[in-house]
Amino acid sequence: MNRDERFEELWTAFLEGELDAAGFEELDRLLGSDAELLRRAADLYEEHRLLGFTLQSDDAERFVKGTMARALRDREGFVSTVSDSVRQAVPSRPRRIAGYLIVAAAAFLVSLGVQPLLSKPPAPALEPVATLVRAQGARWDRGGDLPEGSRLLQGRLRLLEGAAAIRFDSGAVMLLSGSADLDLEARGRALLRAGKVTVEASEAYGFTVRTPAGEVVDLGTEFAVAVEPTGATEVHVLQGEVSWSGSTSRVLQTGQALRFDSGAAPEGRSVPLTDKGFKELLRTIRPLPAEKSLIAYEGFEYPAGEREPGQASGGTGWKGPWRLRTPEETRNDRDTSTSFIVGAESLSGPWSLPAARGGALHLPAARSFRVRPLAEPIDLGRDAVTYVSFLMRQELVDRDPPFFRLTFRSSEDFPNQVVGFGMPPTRRPSIYRNRDNFNASVSFEPGPLLLWVCKIASRRQGPDEVFLKIYRPDEPLGPLEPAVWTLATGPFLSDARLDLLLLTGTGQGRQWFDELRIGRTWESMTRQD
C-alpha cells in the first residue's frame, strides 16, 4: 500500500470516527512529514464541515433564537456573578469566556505593537478536577446545595455543614464533615485551610494535602488530616505510609498520629489515633433515598408479546407512552419494524442492582426507533446531574452487526440537540453530542449482558460534561461512581433542554434492552431496594 492509499484509508476512518489511537498517531506522522498533504488535509476537513452545513436543513432561525436566549440569560447571570465575585467563587461561564477573550485580545494587541489596554493580568481558565460523589445535608459557600455528582472546578470550596465525599480525578477520595475549608488545586492536590478530612488514596499514589504547617503526600494509603484555625496540623495514618514535609520531613507509618505546630511542636508530637476509618465514615454519609432521587423508570412490565408502541405506557416519570417518531422526526429514515415487542424475561446480571421487574424490550433485526417523552426534561442550562442506567445485550451475527443508540433529544430541535450513548458496529461505544461523536478506545464484544451507567453533568454557567461507564459481567459495581469512565466528552457548553428519549436499534442482530433508570444520584442507579 503506497502513501496516498494509506492516507485515504486513515483519513476516511478519521472522518467516520473509526480511527483508533494508533491510527491517530500514524495520520499525524503522515501529515507532519508532508506540508502539501497537510494543506490538502486541512482543506478537506474544512470542506467536510461545510458539506454537513450546506446539506443540513436551514436552521438559521433556531440559531438566531438560541443565540438571543443565551445572550439575555448570560446578561442576567453576569449581574449575579459580579455580586458573588467578592467571595472568590469559581469563575462562572461568562467570566471564563471573558477571561479567554482578555488573554486573546491582549496577545493580539501586543502583536500589533499597541500598548495593552488591560491593566490586570487575566486569571487562567479553571478546570474541573474532582467530583462530589456523595453528600448528606451538605451546605456549601459555593452555590449552597451542590447536587451529587457535580463536577468541581479548581478553587476554594468551603463546607459549612453536613458531610460529603469528593473523588479527585486522580482517584483519591476525600471525606469531609462539619466545617471544612479547602482549595481544590489540581487532580491530585488540595490545600486544607481548616477542618478535618479523611483520604483514601489507594488508586492515587502521590495524592497531596497541603496545610499551613506543611504537606502530606500519600504513599499508597488511608489517612486523616486536621487543621486548626491556628494552622496547627494533625496527621493520622490509618493504613500504609505518608510523607510529611514541614519544618522537618519524615515518613509516617500505619497507626502513627502526630501534631505539627510550627511554633510549639515543629518535630511533631504524638496524639491519639483517630478511631474512625474511611469505610466507617463513608457509611455515615447517607445518600438521598432512591425514591427521592429516581426521576424515571421503565422495567417493561408488560405482558410478553407484540403491541403498538402507544399501548405501552408503564413505568414512572414519563409524560406519555412510547411512540414511533413523527414524520418530521423521521425525515427519510423510516422504521422497518414498528411493533413494540416485549420478551417475557427481564434482563438481570451479576451486579448488585435493584430487583429487575417485568420483561425486557426486544429490538428486532431491523431499523426501529422508539420515542418516549420525559415528564422532567434534562436541562443542560441549569446546575444538575442526571444519571442514566440500563441493561443491554446484543446478538452476535456474521454480517451487518447490530447498532444500538439511546439518545436524549429536544422536541423543539429533534435532529440537532442531542446527548446520547451508543454501541456502533465497530464495538467501540460512543457518546453523541449534537453532531459530534466521541468514541471510546476500548471495544466490547457482542453477546454478554452489559450494564451502562451514564452521567450528564450540566451547569447553568460553566462547562457541561457527559460520561459513560460500561460494566462487563465480571466487573464489580462500586458504592461510588468510578474515577475512570469508559468514555467522557470533556467540558463543553450547551443550554439544550432535552425532553425526549429515543431508542434506536439497527442491523441484523437482535438486541434486548431493560431496567432503564434516570435519576439524580449514583445510588439511585445501583442501590438495591
Partner 1 sequence: MDKQDLEAQIRRVREGDPAGFEAIVRAFEWPLRTWVLSHCPPGGDADDVAQRAFIEAFKRIGEYAAETDFRAWLFAIGRYQLMAEATRLRRTADYHRRYAPIALAEELERRAAAAAAPSDRLDRLRACMGGLNPQAREILGQRYREELPLEEISRRSGRSVGALKKYLFTLRARLHECIARKAATETT
Which residues from 22-41 bind partner 1, rule CB under 8 A? 24-25, 27-28, 31-32, 38-41
Instruction: Show contacts with partner 1 in window 427-456 (CB under 8 A).
Output: 433-436, 438-439, 441
Pairwise CA distance, residues 19 & 240, whole Å: 42
Cβ at position 408, least distance to partner 1 in Å: 16
Among 3, 6, 8, 178, binds partner 1 (CB under 8 A): 8
**What burial class does residue 182 get, using C-beta atoms within 10 Å of its C-beta: 0-12 exposed, 13-18 middle, 19+ buried?**
buried
Indicate the residue among 352 and 441 with the shorter CB distance to partner 1: 441
Indicate the residue among 103 and 194 with the shorter CB distance to partner 1: 103
Cβ at position 260, least distance to partner 1 in Å: 35
Among 78, 205, 351, 444, binds partner 1 (CB under 8 A): 78
| 517 SS3 class | strand
Instruction: Show contacts with partner 1 in window 391-430 (CB under 8 A).
Output: 400, 403, 415, 424-425
Contacting residues for 408 by C-beta, under 8 A, at least 6 apart:
374, 378, 418, 419, 420, 456, 498, 500, 501, 502
Pairwise CA distance, residues 257 & 406, whole Å: 51
83 sits near partner 1 (criterion: CB under 8 A): no
Cβ at position 518, least distance to partner 1 in Å: 24
Contacting residues for 59 by C-beta, under 8 A, at least 6 apart:
413, 416
516 contacts 359 by C-beta, under 8 angstroms: no
Given the C-alpha cell 411493533, which residue does it identify? 339
Indicate the residue among 171 and 519 with the shorter CB distance to partner 1: 171
Among 70, 269, 276, 427, binds partner 1 (CB under 8 A): 70
Nearest CA to 369 out of 346, 340, 390 is that of 340
Pairwise CA distance, residues 75 & 81, whole Å: 10
Q: Are strands 180-186 and 155-168 parallel, antiparallel or unpaired?
A: antiparallel
Among 461, 506, 511, 521, binds partner 1 (CB under 8 A): 506
Element at 450 (helix H, strand E): strand 450-458
Among 43, 145, 267, 306, binds partner 1 (CB under 8 A): 43
Among 327, 477, 483, 493, binds partner 1 (CB under 8 A): 493
Cβ at position 47, least distance to partner 1 in Å: 6
Among 72, 251, 355, 396, binds partner 1 (CB under 8 A): 72
Contacting residues for 364 by C-beta, under 8 A, at least 6 apart:
337, 341, 505, 510
Count of positions on this chain that bind partner 1 (CB under 8 A) = 78
